[in-house]
Structure 1
């Protein structure tokens, strides 16, 4: 299976345990101020641009402010950061949404992953993300190798990265994470909320799980962009309301296999599980094709096993990033067993979204999934052979592209 840059393996979990002793007697990744053991609720006053913090009081636009998020706790800022290291794609999407796309200096696993953003941004006038000049942080193959020196070279104002992920990188431990925090810039990120994965023991007392939109709001506070967040969140709420108020009866909903298909093997994922990886599928309230207890990161199905499951719909994850859904369809159609799958026979093998979605990606992926699963309700999903997100007739769009573009361009 393709390496998953934001999901520590069992091997890296063992490394976490070995590193835990380095934390004895010290606060855990406190950021600029506060303690990693405390996650203080923080809200922003959109009329002043300042921050109201339940633990530290009120600031205004001309004063330092702080934002809290587990596992780092409270992080202080003099002003919004303008040189930001990013590993996971969702944080790049947030930076662009809040007017700081130019601040992003890197991406983790591959800078080509920015293509996932372009696929959606092409539908938004005036919105873009320049991936030229971005530093690719991971130098490894199946493992994750990030040279510590790149942190010094980039000299970022903020590392918009979950330190609980960083200690899983080859050659990294808690001491290295604290060194970068103290000598370069603080950390601010949370990715184990992707699947609500158990944190390493060293972070067990400070980790919390958030929804995608809760993380998005905290990052908006970092960039002092609460008004943009509020506007995007309102559109998201409208999309969810539209979908959930128009779902067909449960008996008429399809069974869905969320997979990655590689070399004749299906690697399954849960469809309705917790975590922001499922923020575009869970609201559909469709039945996952796989028994929840049978699905793990190591699970795999061959053609015959998949035929036994025989889902109504197959959604191939990451089809806007790494995998060519056209090639997947062709391979299935040409295989003696694969061609007998109901989803193949009924032309219901679709390009799936990216689980590492930010808020703007989430809007498009909600619309996409609704159309793929319930075309009679939300309109047919157009044929997709790669490239940008397809054109949807305006009357069948679940949200207004111009409104989203205006928000992202600061025209509020």
Structure 2
């Protein structure tokens, strides 16, 4: 855009962070959203934002509160892949300037996108905001219109104070994200009053408001609603469902995760309602750590290995290590070929659709068709059209704007 300095708005004028801080009475109560099928966002009601006569608009989400924008963000900071995936889904993937471990996150996202015509994410050259700890200098360098990150999460990082967060908001751009909805963990002190928990697709609706892509969001949510309806209609009775656990294996230990608890980290397992092999375990958080003997004692029918399609965690390498252990080779999931590659917990809407389909097939092959397995480094496997939980072309058309 050309013009004199007086005519051309700076980025600070372009996107401003009029944030009403928590504790000021704007946000009251801590709401827990129940079912993924009842998520809010912009599909069942008008936009969560408001528009002023001058074309500026605001979007509200805890803990940031009410954030004001003068235009659609064009340069966007993110840490975790769910926000990058949201941007891609809304047609704004090119706006993302940073992501956690770009090669791992980017390759994982493209593992799914390779099955969608015209959809991809260029992660090459993106900054890794956590490579050397979250840096204020990096945020100034990137000069982003908006930071899709939870200020409560930022406050827990080394060398960050509340005044630092305010400086970023005032001098660069607002923070707009919600981290603790992933696990429903308690946010840090100073952010507990007014903190709200959102489901994945509700939070996605709010990000859609930031990008002013409400119509695209509504169409995407229809795809998601259809997937949930298909799953609900085909699920076997609870008494016929397998026992399962989601894990990450490392150095002789299984980091184990519950399947059916609240939080968007479980948006791909909770709707499928498998019997959690460790449901009675109280870990004090969403995950715990067990050894081979404890895993063998529980002996779940299905083991879903988190990150199993991501570089550094590929399933074949992990499975070989487990099979070489005296107790590991006795696990029913290993003996019966029901040790599967699962997706990422940091999932956005596109990832969530594929991971719901993947997990449905892994848990319930008789109802949803056999999972063909994942080949290391390759795209998401080709699924016969009659066994897909959603139409790839329909999804592609919405993402690329051809709807």
Paired with 1:381 and 1:375, the residues of 2 have a C-alpha distance of 7
Paired with 1:366 and 1:35, the residues of 2 have a C-alpha distance of 36
Give 1:219-234 correspondences, 5 Å limit: 219-234=207-222
How many residue pairs are counted as aligned between the two chains?
371
Paired with 1:39 and 1:105, the residues of 2 have a C-alpha distance of 30
For the Cα contact (< 8 Å) 1:44–1:224, is it kept in 2?
no
- Alignment partner of 1:122 out of 104, 108, 114: 114
Give yes or no for the alignment of 1:310 onto 2:296: no
Give 1:289-300 correspondences, 5 Å limit: 289-296=277-284, 299-300=288-289
Give yes or no for the alignment of 1:319 onto 2:311: no
CA deviation after TM superposition for structure 1 residue 139, in Å: 2.6
Any idea what SS the aligned residue of 2:289 has? coil
- Alignment partner of 1:391 out of 362, 377, 382: 382
- Return 5+ residue gaps in structure 2 as ranges: 1-15, 29-39
Give yes or no for the alignment of 1:132 onto 2:118: no
- Once the two structures are superposed, residues 330-386 of structure 1 have per-residue CA deviations (whole angstroms, 9 ceiling, x without a partner) of 222232211111111100000012111001110000000000000001000002132
CA deviation after TM superposition for structure 1 residue 33, in Å: 4.6
Paired with 2:327 and 2:48, the residues of 1 have a C-alpha distance of 60
Residues 102-111 or 220-229, more deviating: 102-111
CA deviation after TM superposition for structure 1 residue 319, in Å: 1.5
Give yes or no for the alignment of 1:173 onto 2:161: yes
Give 1:350-369 correspondences, 5 Å limit: 350-369=340-359
Give 1:65-80 correspondences, 5 Å limit: 65-80=57-72
Change (3 A) 1:292 1:226: farther
Any idea what SS the aligned residue of 1:201 has? coil
Paired with 1:232 and 1:150, the residues of 2 have a C-alpha distance of 33
With structure 1 as the length reference, what TM-score do the two structures score?
0.86
CA deviation after TM superposition for structure 1 residue 32, in Å: 1.5
For the Cα contact (< 8 Å) 2:309–2:374, is it kept in 1?
no
Paired with 1:45 and 1:111, the residues of 2 have a C-alpha distance of 33
Give yes or no for the alignment of 1:378 onto 2:368: yes
Any idea what SS the aligned residue of 2:398 has? helix
Change (3 A) 1:151 1:165: same
Paired with 1:228 and 1:213, the residues of 2 have a C-alpha distance of 13
For the Cα contact (< 8 Å) 2:17–2:69, is it kept in 1?
no
Paired with 1:226 and 1:52, the residues of 2 have a C-alpha distance of 10
Any idea what SS the aligned residue of 1:63 has? coil
For the Cα contact (< 8 Å) 1:31–1:73, is it kept in 2?
no
2:393 aligned residue: 402
Paired with 1:300 and 1:338, the residues of 2 have a C-alpha distance of 15
Runs of 4+ in 1 over 6 A off after TM superposition: 42-46
Change (3 A) 1:344 1:51: closer
Q: What is the root-mean-square deviation in Å for CA atoms of aligned residues? A: 2.1
1:96 aligned residue: 88
Residues 108-117 or 232-241, more deviating: 108-117
1:346 aligned residue: 336
CA deviation after TM superposition for structure 1 residue 58, in Å: 4.7
- Once the two structures are superposed, residues 291-339 of structure 1 have per-residue CA deviations (whole angstroms, 9 ceiling, x without a partner) of 3433356732221111101000000111123411111222222322111
CA deviation after TM superposition for structure 1 residue 52, in Å: 6.8
For the Cα contact (< 8 Å) 1:51–1:58, is it kept in 2?
no
CA deviation after TM superposition for structure 1 residue 132, in Å: 1.4
For the Cα contact (< 8 Å) 1:45–1:52, is it kept in 2?
no
CA deviation after TM superposition for structure 1 residue 264, in Å: 2.0
For the Cα contact (< 8 Å) 2:80–2:100, is it kept in 1?
yes
Paired with 2:242 and 2:267, the residues of 1 have a C-alpha distance of 18
1:24 aligned residue: none
With structure 2 as the length reference, what TM-score do the two structures score?
0.87
Paired with 2:195 and 2:104, the residues of 1 have a C-alpha distance of 30
Any idea what SS the aligned residue of 1:305 has? helix
Give yes or no for the alignment of 1:32 onto 2:18: yes
Paired with 1:44 and 1:278, the residues of 2 have a C-alpha distance of 22
- Return 5+ residue gaps in structure 1 as ranges: 1-29
Any idea what SS the aligned residue of 1:75 has? strand
- Once the two structures are superposed, residues 107-158 of structure 1 have per-residue CA deviations (whole angstroms, 9 ceiling, x without a partner) of 1354531112101000000001101121111133xxxx12211111111111
For the Cα contact (< 8 Å) 1:111–1:135, is it kept in 2?
no
For the Cα contact (< 8 Å) 1:155–1:184, is it kept in 2?
yes
Give yes or no for the alignment of 1:264 onto 2:255: no
CA deviation after TM superposition for structure 1 residue 44, in Å: 6.3
For the Cα contact (< 8 Å) 1:68–1:75, is it kept in 2?
yes
Paired with 1:213 and 1:398, the residues of 2 have a C-alpha distance of 18
CA deviation after TM superposition for structure 1 residue 59, in Å: 4.0
CA deviation after TM superposition for structure 1 residue 64, in Å: 0.5
- Once the two structures are superposed, residues 232-263 of structure 1 have per-residue CA deviations (whole angstroms, 9 ceiling, x without a partner) of 10110110010011111111100001110112
Residues 384-393 or 81-90, more deviating: 384-393
